[in-house]
Amino acid sequence: MYLLIATRNPDKLQEIRACFTFGNLDLGSALDYPHLPDVVEDGETLEANALKKATELAIQTDSWALADDTGLEVDALHGAPGVYAARYAGENVTYADNVAKLLKEMRNQSTRTARFRTVVALSDPQGQARWVEGLCHGTILDHERGDRGFGYDPVFLPDGHTATFAEMDTDTKNRISHRGLALQAAKTAWQSILKSENPAWT
């Protein structure tokens, strides 16, 4: 079965490919369709954005499509940056820009608890979709540690661990991360569909 991963983010694509391989599943990505415009992520929730990306790409390519959206919810910032995590410091910014803004906003904050949340959506070629989620709780550090991963990984210390996401190897991160847990939930929920020669929602 062919499954389109609805992203052009190479870092996100690498994580999804590492987690979401089984059987004879043939994985492609939005990078294979340069003529298609980017999906505008204008939803007010992670669920809305993930569902929109999955359904639009599925319909446009006449294939099953998998999409995700991730937010970082920081308690001291009343849940911000939340759904706007990727553009917290503005449009067309770097990972470093977003991290710098977060550290500035968290300066002198005593409460540093936070959680990463990922929603993964799967759509059939007709645009019928479902979603699952994964959560990872942790703490926002006051300085960066590690040079692996991407996004807010250097300042996020997951509960029960002494290494940030940016200090972990890929396998370890994928076992405990929000995206890894969401993808595991997706595999559990939809594996029978994705292994089928004639996939269809039941």
Catalytic sites, residue numbers: 69
> How many Å apart are CA 163 and CA 54, to the nearest integer?
33
CA distance 181 to 201: 22
CA-to-CA distance for 182 and 128, rounded, in angstroms? 19
- Short-list 40, 63, 46, CA closest to 179: 46
Please list, in sequence order, all residues whose beta carbon lies within 8 angstroms of the beta carbon of residue 176, skipping any fewer than 6 positions away: 136, 158, 161
